[in-house]
Amino acid sequence: MRALIAGAGRLGAQIAQVLAAARNDVTLVDVDEDRIAELEGRLSVRLLAGDACEPAFLEHAGALTADLVIATTGKDEDNLVISLLAKRRFAVPRVAARVNDAENAWLFDRNWGVDTAVPAATPLISLIEEATGATDTVALLRLSKAGVDVIETTITARSRSAGRTLVEIPLPEGAVIATVIRDGQPTVPAPEMRLRPGDELLVVSHAATEQEIHTAFQ
């Protein structure tokens, strides 16, 4: 999914981080050049400085090919303009906007291009779920908040685990293979399953580090 987020404040940055972690193509923009510079190197997303209320900049940021636009600036008027441009000018399939002032909530509807209006007090998890419909992303976020990590690793021809069955691979303590994605389809990880190059594993762990999981399989 291609997501364009306007507003790189705390909320916008958190949403960008979560969507990027779920392997979405994310662009985060903000009119404040200093804020964008501050986030450089901290987020693995495309960062751009500019005014998302300007059609030319919004197009430059990727609105023409975006699947989702989320307006999270601190100004309701800006969020409405961004939403209207996204929906009417660029035909973005899904548009969500943050409502900063509850008295303005009645404006945030389809007339202004808003598919999902999100009150400022809405928890981050609910906001992402409402804006994207990505319940799998939300589930991963909830696990992370509970102190459980979901670590992904991909088997290649050079991986030590390629050609071995799952039961033959010693896992770090506290780690469990949740699923094996093969040919784009999630598969129940039976002990006798033999790993192939291209297999993607999702490992749930409350103790093992990403490096320990990588060492076990790679």
Domain span(s) for CATH 3.40.50.720 in the chain: 2-134
Q: What is the mean pLDDT of residues 136-148?
A: 52
Does 3.40.50.720 match the CATH number of domain 2-134? yes
Mean per-residue pLDDT of the chain: 84
What is the CATH T-level fold of the domain 147-217, as seen in this structure? Alpha-Beta Plaits (3.30.70)
Distances (CA, A) of 115 to 76, 94, 119, 121, 166: 15, 6, 13, 18, 44
pLDDT value at 148 more than 70: no
Q: Is beta strand 46-49 parallel, antiparallel or unpaired with respect to 68-71?
A: unpaired
Q: Boundaries of CATH 3.30.70.1450 in the chain?
A: 147-217
Per-residue confidence (pLDDT) for residue 123, from 0 to 100: 59
Question: When comparing pLDDT for 130 and 188, which is higher?
Answer: 188
Region 23-47 average pLDDT: 90
Q: How far, CA to CA in Å, does 196 sit from each of 156, 193, 199, 211?
A: 8, 9, 6, 21
pLDDT at res. 108: 94
